[in-house]
Chains A and B, each alone.
Chain A
Amino acid sequence: DTGVSQDPRHKITKRGQNVTFRCDPISEHNRLYWYRQTLGQGPEFLTYFQNEAQLEKSRLLSDRFSAERPKGSFSTLEIQRTEQGDSAMYLCASSLATGGAGGYTFGSGTRLTVV
């Protein structure tokens, strides 16, 4: 598999429940990013990892959100006590640490609906 994989593709959850999403980046890519996209908007940066280190978090990322990349390979994004405003497409992307010339490779995303 040469692409970025995300699981699940869709998630419907009740308000107040916790959800966890998984991202498997391209194996050669040491940088991994999480973005959130709502309808009609561009992707918004949430956080990024270089290997296992989380190097930057957006102020958009409340304390209900946590991301990990324990072995520098796959990553998980957990949302605790979900709210209706969390409904969005959660996109994962990966890249090489070469100045971005090759761009980011995005996965197909996980669409979260909070009811």
Chain B
Amino acid sequence: GQQVMQIPQYQHVQEGEDFTTYCNSSTTLSNIQWYKQRPGGHPVFLIQLVKSGEVKKQKRLTFQFGEAKKNSSLHITATQTTDVGTYFCAFRPGGGNKLTFGTGTQLKVEL
């Protein structure tokens, strides 16, 4: 079945540095969602992208869906310690109801 890979698997940054995680698929995706999971917590929905080339912003977070709808990225500007956690991309194969998660990128922010 369809799968997505995320890179990098881990990222350590100094507070104030930028961070980007990438989500890549070998096949076209009808949609992509992003979730954040704090250490010891549960996934929290951030956003959904459905259109080719779509870019959405939430404060310091910028989400992008590739033109070919095979990749997506999440960029955080000027990271803060509150950004610590694992960021997952996820998609619904064929636009159906089952959400399939990527491998995740664990972000650590050091003061």
Decide whether A and B assemble into one complex. Answer: yes
Binding site for B on A (CB under 8 A): 31, 33, 41-45, 48, 50, 55-56, 91, 93, 99-109
B88 cross-chain contacts in A, Cβ below 8 A: 42-43
B35 cross-chain contacts in A, Cβ below 8 A: 103
Contact of A45 with B43 at beta-carbon distance under 8 Å, contacts A100-B31, A103-B48 already known: no
Binding site for A on B (CB under 8 A): 31, 33, 35, 41-48, 88, 90, 92, 95, 97-104
B43 cross-chain contacts in A, Cβ below 8 A: 43, 91, 104, 106
A55 to B90, CA, bound (A): 20
Q: Smallest CB–CB gap between A65 and chain B, Å?
A: 16
> Which of the residues A55, A56, A91, A101 comes within 8 Å of B42, measured between beta carbons?
A91
A-B contact pairs, 14 of them (CB 8 A): A41-B104, A44-B101, A45-B98, A45-B100, A50-B97, A91-B42, A99-B95, A100-B31, A100-B97, A100-B99, A102-B48, A103-B46, A103-B47, A106-B43
